[in-house]
Structure 1
Amino acid sequence: MSKGSDLQVDYDLLNTSATQLDDIRKEFKGLGAWKAEVTAVVGDSRVRKAMGEFVDNWDKNRKRLIKEIGEVGDMVEATRDAFQGLDGELAKATQGKKE
Structure 2
Amino acid sequence: MSDLVVDFTLLSTSAKQLKVIRTEFKDLDDWKDDVGSVVGAPEMKAAMTDFVDNWDDNRKRLLESLQTVGKMVEGTRDAFRGLEKSLAKAGTKKQ
Q: TM-score range by the shorter chain?
A: over 0.9
Cα distance in 2 between the residues matched to 1:8 and 1:30: 36
Q: Secondary structure at the match of 2:13?
A: helix
- In structure 2, stretches of 5+ residues that fail to align are none
Counterpart for residue 61 of structure 2: 64
TM-score with structure 1 length normalisation? 0.94
Structure 1 ranges of 4+ moved more than 6 A: none
- In structure 1, stretches of 5+ residues that fail to align are none
Of 5, 11, 15, 2:8 maps to 11
> Number of aligned pairs?
95
Of 36, 48, 51, 1:51 maps to 48
Q: Which amino acid is 1:19 matched to? A: K
Counterpart for residue 81 of structure 1: 78
RMSD: 0.7
Cα distance in 2 between the residues matched to 1:44 and 1:60: 24
